[in-house]
Amino acid sequence: MSINSFKLKTKCLSTQARTATLDMLHGKVQTPIFLPVGTQATVRTLTPGDLDEIGIKMILCNAYHLYLRPGIDIIEKAGGLHKFMVWDKPILTDSGGYQIFSLSSFRNITDDGVVFRSHLDGSEHRISPEYVVSLQEKLGSDIMMVLDVCPETSARTGDLKRAVKQTSEWARRCYNAHNDTGQHLFGIIQGGTDPELRTLSAREITEIDFPGYAIGGLSLGEPKATMWSIVDHTIAEMPGNKPRYLMGVGAPDDIFEGIARGIDIFDSALPTRVARNGGLYTYEGRKNVKRSVYKDQFGPIEESCGCFTCRNFSLAYVHHLFKCEELLAYRLATIHNLYFMNKLVVDIRDAITKGKFAEFKEQFLSKYQPTDEDRRVDQKSRSLDAKRQKQAPDFK
C-alpha cells in the first residue's frame, strides 16, 4: 500500500469541494467522509451490523480512552482493535491529545512528553509522542494521529505559542517513531483562533511529510464565523494533494461549509450525542422528539428517510420511548441521525462528481435551519462538564 494513497482528480483545485479515494489497511473509502465517534471501541448503542446497515464505512476511536480502559495490552491480545470490537472496516484513532488537555484534572509537559492523571481514577500516567505512536500501532488502526497539545479556546497567546511549538516538536518525533506498518500517521495543526499562529503551525506541520493533515483545536466554543475564518486561513497553507481532516466538526451545515473549503474528513460526536438527547435531524433542521406535539404523530420521523428507524417505527413510538427513558430510544435515534449524516455525505459526493455541489449546498441550506449558536455552545460545554463530573467524582 502506498502512503500517498490519496489520489486527487488533477483538475480539482486545492480549496474547493473535491472527492477522492483513501486507501487503507482495512479497505478503501471515498471522501468526503464523516466518521461516527466510537470513543471506547463502540459507537454508542450500535453494533457493527447496525453501522453496516446505515452505510458507515469508517469510524473513529480514541487511543487515550482505550489506553485507560480496557488497556492497550488487552486489545493487542484480542488481535487488535478491529477484532476486539468486531469491525472490519477502517478505523481512525485519535491520539488523545485533546482528551489529556480537556478531561485530565492534572497534566504537566516534560522534556519527554506529558504526565497526566486519569480522569477515571486519578492514577498518574506518563506518555511520550513515541509511546503514543506505539500504542496506536498495537491497536492497528488505519489512520493514527500524532500527539498534540490542544489548549482551551480561551488560552492566552503565550500558551498558544508554546502549544504550537510543542505540537510541531512532538509531530516530528511521532513521524520518526512510526514504523512501516502500513498505517497512515496524520499530523495535526494547532494555533487556536490566532491566524498567525495557525500559519506558523500549518507551515511547520506540513513540512513533515505526513500522508495527511488535520486541523485540530476548533469547534471548542468559538463562534462559527471565527472557526471558518481560521479554517480558510489554515487551508491556504495545506497541500492540495493530501487529505485534510477537520477534527470534531460535524453538524450537517458544517459539513457543507467544510467540504466547500476542501475538507475531506470529518468526525464529531454531535449527531450521536444529540440523538441520545432526542435531537433528530431532518432536512428542515433538528427536531426535539420529546416535544408533546409528537405524541400522536404516527408517520416516521421524516417521510423521505430510508433509515431502519423511519422504515419501521412511528415518531409517536420514538417519542414514547424517550418520555419513558427506554434504552431503545437512544438506539433508534442514533441510527436515524447517523443515517442522515451518512446519506448527506453520499449525496454530496454524488453532487461533486456531477459538478453540482454548489447547487446542492444552496438547496440544502435554504431549507435547513441550523441549531441556534448559543444553544450549541451551551450544550457542548454542558456535555464536557458532565463527562468530567461523571467520570472523576472522588479524586483530586
Which residues are the active-site residues? 94, 267
Q: Is the CB of 66 or the CB of 246 nearer to a copy of itself?
A: 66
Per-residue exposure over 167-201, b if at least 16 CB sit within 10 Å of its own CB, e if not? bbebbbbbbebbeeeebbbbbbbbbbbbeebbbbb
Out of 313, 357, 364, 368, the residue judged to bind a copy of itself by CB under 8 A = 313
Out of 1, 74, 236, 293, the residue judged to bind a copy of itself by CB under 8 A = 74
Out of 14, 16, 47, 153, the residue judged to bind a copy of itself by CB under 8 A = 47
Q: Is 40 in the site for a copy of itself (CB under 8 A)?
A: yes
Q: Is the CB of 233 or the CB of 320 nearer to a copy of itself?
A: 320
Q: Is 190 in the site for a copy of itself (CB under 8 A)?
A: no
Out of 330, 339, 340, 360, the residue judged to bind a copy of itself by CB under 8 A = 330
**Stretches 16-24, 130-138, 212-220, 309-317: which one binds a copy of itself (CB under 8 A)?**
309-317
Q: Lay out the site mask for a copy of itself across 275-304 (x = CB under 8 A, - = otherwise).
A: --------------------xx-x------
The answer to whether the beta carbons of residues 342 and 54 sit under 8 Å apart is yes
- Burial of residue 209 (CB within 10 Å: 0-12, 13-18, 19+) is exposed
DSSP 219: S
Rounded CA-CA distance 271/289 in Å is 14
SS3 280: strand
**Stretches 19-27, 68-76, 178-186, 281-289: which one binds a copy of itself (CB under 8 A)?**
68-76
Residue 380's CB is within 10 A of a number of other CB atoms, namely 17
Q: Is the CB of 49 or the CB of 182 nearer to a copy of itself?
A: 49
Out of 24, 35, 41, 174, the residue judged to bind a copy of itself by CB under 8 A = 41
Residue 247's CB is within 10 A of a number of other CB atoms, namely 26
The answer to whether the beta carbons of residues 150 and 217 sit under 8 Å apart is yes
Q: Is the CB of 48 or the CB of 187 nearer to a copy of itself?
A: 48
**Stretches 69-77, 127-135, 152-160, 168-176: which one binds a copy of itself (CB under 8 A)?**
69-77
Q: Is the CB of 45 or the CB of 193 nearer to a copy of itself?
A: 45
Q: Is 24 in the site for a copy of itself (CB under 8 A)?
A: no
The answer to whether the beta carbons of residues 243 and 20 sit under 8 Å apart is yes
Q: Is the CB of 110 or the CB of 292 nearer to a copy of itself?
A: 292
Residue 52's CB is within 10 A of a number of other CB atoms, namely 14
For the chain, strand residue ranges (E) read 20-24, 27-31, 33-36, 59-62, 91-94, 107-109, 114-117, 124-127, 143-145, 184-189, 213-215, 244-246, 265-268, 279-282, 285-288
Peptide bond into 239 cis (omega under 30): no
Q: Is 320 in the site for a copy of itself (CB under 8 A)?
A: yes
Q: Is 312 in the site for a copy of itself (CB under 8 A)?
A: yes
Of 186, 190, 153, which Cα lies nearest the Cα of 168? 190
Residue 332 CA to chain centroid, in angstroms?
Answer: 21
Q: How far is the CB of 79 from a copy of itself (least distance, A)?
A: 8
Q: Lay out the site mask for a copy of itself across 85-124 (x = CB under 8 A, - = otherwise).
A: xx--------------------------------------
Out of 324, 359, 378, 386, the residue judged to bind a copy of itself by CB under 8 A = 324
SS3 324: coil
Q: Is the CB of 80 or the CB of 221 nearer to a copy of itself?
A: 80
Q: How far is the CB of 332 from a copy of itself (least distance, A)?
A: 8
SS3 286: strand
Q: Is 386 in the site for a copy of itself (CB under 8 A)?
A: no
- Grid cell locating 271: 449527531
Rounded CA-CA distance 58/117 in Å is 30
**Stretches 37-45, 153-161, 167-175, 348-356: which one binds a copy of itself (CB under 8 A)?**
37-45
Helix axes 357-367, 327-353, angle to 10 degrees: 140
Q: Is 319 in the site for a copy of itself (CB under 8 A)?
A: yes
Interface contacts to a copy of itself, rule CB under 8 A = 40-42, 44-47, 69-70, 74, 77-79, 84-86, 295-296, 298, 312-314, 316-317, 319-321, 323-324, 326-328, 330-332
